[in-house]
Structure formats: structure tokens, C-alpha cells
Amino acid sequence: MAGIETLFTNATLADGSLKDIGVAGGRIVSIEPAGAAPRASATVDIAGALLVPAFVEGHIHLDTSFYGDKWIPHKACTNGFDVHERVAFQAENMAQAAPMDERARKQLELCVANGSLQMRSHVMVDGSVGLKLLETILKIREEYRDIIEIQLVAFPQNGILKSPGTPELLDEAIALGADLVGGLDPASFDRDLQGHLDVVFGVAEKRGVGVDIHLHDFGSLGAFTVEEICVRTAALGMQGKVAISHAYGLGDLDPDSARRIGAKIAKAGVSIMTNAPGDHVFPPVALLRSEGVTIFSGSDNIRDSWWPYGDGDMLSRAMMIGYRSGFYTDDELTAAFDVVTTAGAKALGLEGYGIALGGKADFVTLAAEHLPEAVVAVPKPRRVFKAGRLVAENGMVAR
Ligand SMILES: [Zn+2]
């Protein structure tokens, strides 16, 4: 096998086989039964550990986490979950937090150390903060380009129509380097579903980029908004480029209604992000997958103004999704793993993802016999390789 730069030996793959994996130029160039491949100039012994593609952190907020900063106690809403009130708490907390670049770096390293090498982060862009948070996160993205690939969503945390100047700022954000246009509860926050979506899809169409909208609305309002986003996606031929994050309302539907709307979501090529959120209802993962919907996941908030939880570990996120979904069989547990890996790659439109010939050599080793065990046990000893190079071990980014 000519041209192998590094041979990763004795890797257990998801199908249970023991393989040697050859890497050159950051790509997988050979997958042979263990011992069958000729020695390469460099060899890394995986020693029988499970080797899986790096995790996809599909939804996080690099700008608003307090991870690694001083502990900021959670403030409860005064009368049930209220997005407006939470945004106000966030503004108070951000004013006393450590500099954003320091916090973002700590959060990024936490994610990489846990095995995420592909990420989509939302970053606030609206009339209250302008483009300054995005400018900082763009610099951080450059700093970490060799170890993690990051998509940025221009996220109007204070609404689009309610926050003067935001439509223009979203457009400028894309010109500056953001990859997708975000949105926030078009009906309940801005009180204008169509007006909000006009801006989001207008900028996306003009700039030729994707969309990822936060949708916390419950019940029929949430479901109706999902349908409207699907209609717009199909009309603009944006299948595969639009995601709805949270979509709590899908968790309020009876199974027949959920199946009907699931078929529409699948047909429109819209992906749904869920993080198995605390005590909220959330989309029925198995039912929607059976309808062909791409469900992906992310940590979302890690120790921020929305909740104190989060560990930056997409494998523990898979466990939470499986736990809350009542996943017990091996097939179900494997589906939970898929949500944080292959389905995430599909939702983010990633090229060369997976343990396959020609794929990027971005992988993680786990002390588990197979995927179902990895999901329930969440083993922590890991080695993380980006383009075939060790980037993290024992919970620390390699320097
Ligand atoms: Zn979010």
C-alpha cells in the first residue's frame, strides 16, 4: 500500500472488525484487516479500542458560555420559561463575564478534548451588539482552524424586527465570514412570522448560504412555524441547507400528526436539532428518523444564562438523547450515536466525513466494545485525531 504516512493499527470498527487504517495527506487511504497492511514510517497502535468518526457538535454558543469563568448562579424565570426574560438575564450576566475570547477558547478546547472536530456555533448579531461578538469569534475560529472546523450562524438573539438594524447586520455578518443566517421564534418573539422569515430567507437567498433557526415555541404555534419554514425551504430549492434548532412543538404532537409533519420536514430536506433539553418536550427522535428526517444534536448552552448544565461531550449528549427517548435496544442506541456523528455531518453538509476510504482522518478512540456500549457508558479515556494527527488525549488538547 504505497503512500501511507501513518498506519493506525488494531482499531476496532463499529462492525466489530479489527482493522489497520492507513492515512496520507489527512485522508484515509487504506482499511485492511489488522496485520495485513505493510508497515508505514509512522505507526499508532489503537490497541483494540473502538475507533469512531469525530463527533459533530451541531449547535453551541461560543460567545455566551461562562465555562472556565467564575460560577454564575442561574436565575429562574419569574413565571415559567420566557425567552424575553432569559435574554435580559443574559445581557446582565455578559456584562460581568470574563473577556469573550478567553471563554470561547476554553469552551472550544473542552469540545475538542471530548472528540468534537466539527462544530456549528451561533453567535449573537443584532442591534444590541452589532458585529463585535462575531468579529471576536471569527478570530478565534482562525486560531483553531488546524484542530476544529467551525461553521458560524449569525444569530439575532434580540429578534430581527424588534431590534433595529438587525436585517442589515445579518447581511453584513455573512459578508464578514458567518456561514449561515439564524433566526429566533419568528412568531412569539418578533410577533411577525412571515416578516421574520422574509428577512432570514431573503439574506440566505441573496448570499447563497444556509439557515439555522432557533424555535422554542411549543404546541401548534411551533408546529405551524416548522411547516412554514419547510414551505420556504422547498420554494427556494434550499433542501439540505436549512435546520430548525429545538423545535419543541414537535414534541407536543400526537403520533399521527408528528408523522404527517415529519414527512413534510423530510421532503423539504430540513434538519432538526435537539439537545434533549431538560424538562421541555422535544422532537420524537425515532419517529422522525423513521420518516426520513435528519436529526442532529449539540450541547447548545454550556454553563450560560439559560442553564448551568453541559459538558461539551457529544457522546454524553447521545446518552441523554437515548435516555430521554427511551432507547434501549442496540439499534436504538446506535441511532443515538448516529445523531451525534453521521446525521450531524449530513445536517452540516460536511464533506469527507466517516471512517471510509477517502474520508478525512478525523477520529476518536473509545474504551468500549461497540457503539451501544459507548452510548450507555460514555467512556472518558479518549484519543482524538484530526487529519491523522493527535490533537487531544486524556481530556486535554495536545500542544
Ligand atoms: Zn441555541
What pLDDT, in 10s, does the model give residues 289-317?
999 999 999 999 999 999 899 999 999 99
Q: What distance in angstroms lies between residue 301's CA and the mean position of ligand 1's atoms? A: 6
Q: What distance in angstroms lies between residue 293's CA and the mean position of ligand 1's atoms? A: 20
Q: What distance in angstroms lies between residue 398's CA and the mean position of ligand 1's atoms? A: 28
Cα(235)–Cα(338) distance, rounded to whole angstroms?
29
pLDDT tens digits for 352-379? 999 999 999 999 999 999 999 999 999 9
pLDDT value for 83:
85
Q: What distance in angstroms lies between residue 399's CA and the mean position of ligand 1's atoms? A: 30
Q: What distance in angstroms lies between residue 357's CA and the mean position of ligand 1's atoms? A: 34
Cell of 239: 433542501
Strand 42-45 relative to strand 6-12: parallel, antiparallel, unpaired? parallel
Q: Residue-wise over 338-365: b if at least 16 C-beta within 10 A, else e?
A: bbbbbbbbbbbebeebbbeeebbbbbbb
Q: What distance in angstroms lies between residue 14's CA and the mean position of ligand 1's atoms? A: 31
pLDDT exceeds cutoff 70 at 1: no
Q: What distance in angstroms lies between residue 360's CA and the mean position of ligand 1's atoms? A: 28
Q: What distance in angstroms lies between residue 310's CA and the mean position of ligand 1's atoms? A: 12
Short-list 106, 111, 110, 138, CA closest to 125: 138
Q: What distance in angstroms lies between residue 277's CA and the mean position of ligand 1's atoms? A: 11
Q: What distance in angstroms lies between residue 63's CA and the mean position of ligand 1's atoms? A: 11
pLDDT exceeds cutoff 80 at 399: no
Residue 177's pLDDT band (boundaries 50, 70, 90)?
A: very high
Q: What distance in angstroms lies between residue 92's CA and the mean position of ligand 1's atoms? A: 18
How much is the average pLDDT of 130-157?
97
Residue 73: is it exposed, middle or buried by C-beta count within 10 angstroms (0-12/13-18/19+)? exposed
Strand 116-124 relative to strand 180-184: parallel, antiparallel, unpaired? unpaired
Q: What distance in angstroms lies between residue 267's CA and the mean position of ligand 1's atoms? A: 25
Q: What distance in angstroms lies between residue 152's CA and the mean position of ligand 1's atoms? A: 12
Residues written for the chain:
399
pLDDT value for 9:
97
pLDDT value for 54:
98
Task: Give yes or no for a contact between 108 and 62, defined as CB atoms under 8 angstroms apart.
Answer: yes
Q: What distance in angstroms lies between residue 73's CA and the mean position of ligand 1's atoms? A: 19
Q: What distance in angstroms lies between residue 101's CA and the mean position of ligand 1's atoms? A: 19
pTM above 0.95, yes or no: yes
Residue 278's pLDDT band (boundaries 50, 70, 90)?
A: confident
Helix (H) or strand (E) holding 16, with range, is none
Q: What distance in angstroms lies between residue 394's CA and the mean position of ligand 1's atoms? A: 28
Q: What distance in angstroms lies between residue 157's CA and the mean position of ligand 1's atoms? A: 9
Cβ neighbors of 103 (< 8 A, separation 6 or more) are: 65, 66, 67, 68, 69, 97
Q: What distance in angstroms lies between residue 376's CA and the mean position of ligand 1's atoms? A: 25
Q: What distance in angstroms lies between residue 217's CA and the mean position of ligand 1's atoms? A: 13
Q: What distance in angstroms lies between residue 245's CA and the mean position of ligand 1's atoms? A: 7
Task: Give yes or no for a contact between 54 and 348, defined as CB atoms under 8 angstroms apart.
Answer: no
pLDDT exceeds cutoff 80 at 39: no
Task: Give yes or no for a contact between 157 and 189, defined as CB atoms under 8 angstroms apart.
Answer: no
Q: What distance in angstroms lies between residue 122's CA and the mean position of ligand 1's atoms? A: 7
Q: What distance in angstroms lies between residue 16's CA and the mean position of ligand 1's atoms? A: 36
pLDDT value for 370:
98
Short-list 62, 59, 109, 95, CA closest to 273: 59
Cα(29)–Cα(22) distance, rounded to whole angstroms?
5
pLDDT value for 2:
55
How much is the average pLDDT of 41-47?
94
Q: Where are the alpha helices (DSSP H) in 269-378?
A: 285-290, 314-325, 330-339, 342-348, 371-377
Q: What distance in angstroms lies between residue 28's CA and the mean position of ligand 1's atoms? A: 33
How much is the average pLDDT of 52-61?
98
Residues, CB within 5 angstroms of ligand 1 (ion): 300
Q: What distance in angstroms lies between residue 60's CA and the mean position of ligand 1's atoms? A: 6
Q: What distance in angstroms lies between residue 347's CA and the mean position of ligand 1's atoms? A: 16
Residue 3's pLDDT band (boundaries 50, 70, 90)?
A: confident
What is the average pLDDT value for the chain, to the nearest integer?
Answer: 96
Task: Give yes or no for a contact between 155 and 121, defined as CB atoms under 8 angstroms apart.
Answer: no
* Phi/psi at 55 (5° precision): -75, 155
* CB neighbours of residue 256 within 10 Å: 8
Could you identify the residue written with the cell 457508558? 377
Short-list 301, 328, 388, CA closest to 352: 388
How much is the average pLDDT of 103-129?
96
Three-class SS of residue 58? strand
Amino acid at 300: D
CA triplet 66, 72, 75: central angle to 5 degrees? 120
Cell of 238: 434550499
